Structure 1
Amino acid sequence: MRNMFTRRIALTVGALSCTALLAACGGNPPQAETGGKDSSAATGSGAKVTMDKALHDQLPAKVLKAGKLISVNNGSFPPYEIAGSDGHTLTGASADLSTALGQLLGVTIEHVTADGLPSELTGIKAGRYDFAVGPIGDFKERQGANDFVDWVREFVVFAVPKDNPKKITSLDTACGRKIAVMAGGSAEGVIKTQSQTCVKDGKPAVQVQSYKDQPSSILAVKSGRADAFFSSQAPLTYFVQQSKGELELSGTGQSNGFDTLYQGAVVPKNGELRDVLLKAFQKLMDDGTYGQIMKKWGLEDNELKQAGINLAKS
């Protein structure tokens, strides 16, 4: 996307390899802390965010007692979430935003990597984690079990080999093709519905390949096992940038089966943390910290002016 990505290639290749082979790397890495006393540089703002005592005091009692929030992530959603090459750290826009949130709320935010999106959502619902900073796709069917504090919007496109040999430019052109998706993600549901449409129209079904993380899906395309990867545009842009010409984007500027797609943090349904996070995100938007972090990672096109709860209508 921007020059900063090329500066991070060497650091991130090892991270993505480890994430793609999560089990071989020892499963969930130890927790990595953010929001510490000397972490102001990570926010991208150049200055430490000042604690808001009123927001701090609104945190759930167990959080105030522990002095920390545990945020779960999938570890493989760049440029938002990038698992460290040592298996112990998390970087990316979400990590930077977590640092700012921790400073604003006056608590430490610890990151734990779970094995896929379904594990993240069920873990939050079960109370094993306080929240996921995300961003995770907000959809009506997911709002029944959890609440979303939305802080970005997204688009869904295809990553294909250079010159797009299978000519995959839209959902209609995916019939009969091998399409990689994230298991449990919204794109998986859309591409499976498209497969049914293909058959109904007398065309070959989509050969859907579901993977637990982004790097595994990208590797499937690079190796020829999949013809395309159907996923969020922000991370796919990142992977295309790092592919050194092996991959390109396709299907941009289209709805591709989605209405306006909101993504955000996930919290327990009707929990105390929801409204505190909403106020905290909005304050970071209003004071410019959020915008500086998004710009740092080349995500200006994904910004929201106003954070919201459960913005998805479908």
Structure 2
Amino acid sequence: MKLSKLALAASAALTALLLGSCSSSPAAPEQPEGGEADAQAPAYDLLPQEIKDEGVITIAGDTHPPYRTIEEGGEITGIDPDIQKALSEQLGVPFEISTSSGLDAMLSGMLSGRYDAFNGPVRTTEEREAEFDAVVWMTTRTSYVYLAERSDELSDPEAVCGARVAGVTGSVTESQLARYAEWCAQQGLEAPEFVGLEDTNSTYLAVNSDRADYAGTTQTAAMDLQSAKPDTYEFVVQSDEQGAGIDQLAMFMPKDNELAPAMLAAFQGIFDNGEYERIMTEWNLTDVMVEEPVLNPMTAG
């Protein structure tokens, strides 16, 4: 397992994650990439005119290592910026990350025109595809992070049943925990209690302060956290038997900004030229790769 980059990113993030406010993500300035538009880029002609005029794609983002880590100086690192850099070479315009807090704020911000896109990690659903275009580029499984000092009582998957599980409201964790509850019922056990919070930072703090037994998060984020603090955190992964399935994670764009055709082409470009595989391998994400990007898989006719 390649953990060097994960560990470096997670170590820098833990100060913000574990010492920051419970109510919001750490504040940081917007991060323009800079540079002029490249009209010769492969997918540039597919961009809507408004994006060409602006010369930038504004993408919403919160703190969710290893996808996005807001460093102390305001720089944003992680998988998301790496993917954006590769996509920018296909699109001919840079991305600008605008920090926000909470899934609802980012989704509503796209509908109001504040953001052009949001890259999650968020699963696509039929309901979301009614309002947004979704380009699927990876999958995920839910993991449940707990304090290592409580391993004796929480390491068994059955311990999740009846436990308090903190998760981001509206995230894939919430829906997967509902499936976990069905498995618990089949075992004659109590359903877990979902503690809905605003962001990933808040879920880890809830575990640290004993307001929750587990923090539900993506498998990648759980690996990232444990690699930085192996003696502090452990996690269990939800199995197919427990209703995990494989949820599809997507970049979302409001339908009315007509950015989806260009974005799909850009993703296809980085799949074809090997950048997608390179980035996913570098971040130890080969087990959640997909064979090709797909637009609106839940509603495609």
Question: Normalised by the shorter chain, which TM-score bucket?
Answer: 0.7 to 0.9
**Shift, 1:234, TM fit:** 0.7
Q: Name stretches of at least 5 consecutive residues in structure 2 with no aligned partner.
A: none
Q: Which residue of 1 aligns with 2:272?
A: 286
Preserved contact between residue 168 and residue 251 of structure 1 (Cα < 8 Å): no
Q: Name stretches of at least 5 consecutive residues in structure 1 with no aligned partner.
A: 38-49
Q: Which residue of 2 aligns with 1:12?
A: 13
Q: Which residue of 2 aligns with 1:81?
A: 68
Q: Which residue of 2 aligns with 1:142?
A: 128
CA–CA distance in structure 1, aligned partners of residues 25 and 235 of structure 2:
30
Q: Which residue of 1 aligns with 2:41?
A: 53
Preserved contact between residue 136 and residue 296 of structure 2 (Cα < 8 Å): yes
Preserved contact between residue 271 and residue 277 of structure 2 (Cα < 8 Å): yes
Q: Does 1:309 align with 2:281?
A: no
- Which one of the candidate residues 240, 255, 277 is aligned to 1:254? 240
CA–CA distance in structure 1, aligned partners of residues 34 and 239 of structure 2:
37
**Shift, 1:143, TM fit:** 1.5
TM-score, length of structure 1 as denominator length: 0.83
Q: Which residue of 2 aligns with 1:44?
A: none
**What is the aligned-residue identity percentage?**
25
Q: Which residue of 2 aligns with 1:34?
A: 33
CA displacement 1:218-270 (0-9 Å, x = unmatched): 22223333211222101111111112311112135435434321102101126
The alpha-carbon distance between structure 1 residues 241 and 94, as it changes in their structure 2 partners (threshold 3 A), is same
Preserved contact between residue 146 and residue 267 of structure 1 (Cα < 8 Å): yes
Q: Which residue of 2 aligns with 1:176?
A: 162
CA–CA distance in structure 1, aligned partners of residues 232 and 61 of structure 2:
28
The letter for the 1-side match of 2:43 is L
Preserved contact between residue 122 and residue 172 of structure 2 (Cα < 8 Å): no
Equivalent residue runs for 1:269-280 within 5 Å:
269=255, 271-280=257-266
TM-score, length of structure 2 as denominator length: 0.86
* Greater mean alpha carbon deviation, residues 272-281 or residues 96-105: 96-105
**Shift, 1:110, TM fit:** 0.5
The letter for the 2-side match of 1:259 is G
**Shift, 1:169, TM fit:** 4.0
**Shift, 1:308, TM fit:** 0.4
Q: Which residue of 2 aligns with 1:219?
A: 205
**Shift, 1:193, TM fit:** 6.2
Q: Does 1:299 align with 2:298?
A: no
User: How many residue pairs align between the two structures?
Assistant: 296
Q: Does 1:67 align with 2:55?
A: yes
The letter for the 2-side match of 1:164 is S
The letter for the 2-side match of 1:208 is F
Q: Which residue of 2 aligns with 1:235?
A: 221
The letter for the 2-side match of 1:249 is F
CA–CA distance in structure 2, aligned partners of residues 111 and 18 of structure 1:
23
CA displacement 1:81-121 (0-9 Å, x = unmatched): 112223x3211011111112122211121101111111111
The letter for the 1-side match of 2:153 is K
The alpha-carbon distance between structure 1 residues 14 and 85, as it changes in their structure 2 partners (threshold 3 A), is farther
The alpha-carbon distance between structure 1 residues 131 and 259, as it changes in their structure 2 partners (threshold 3 A), is same
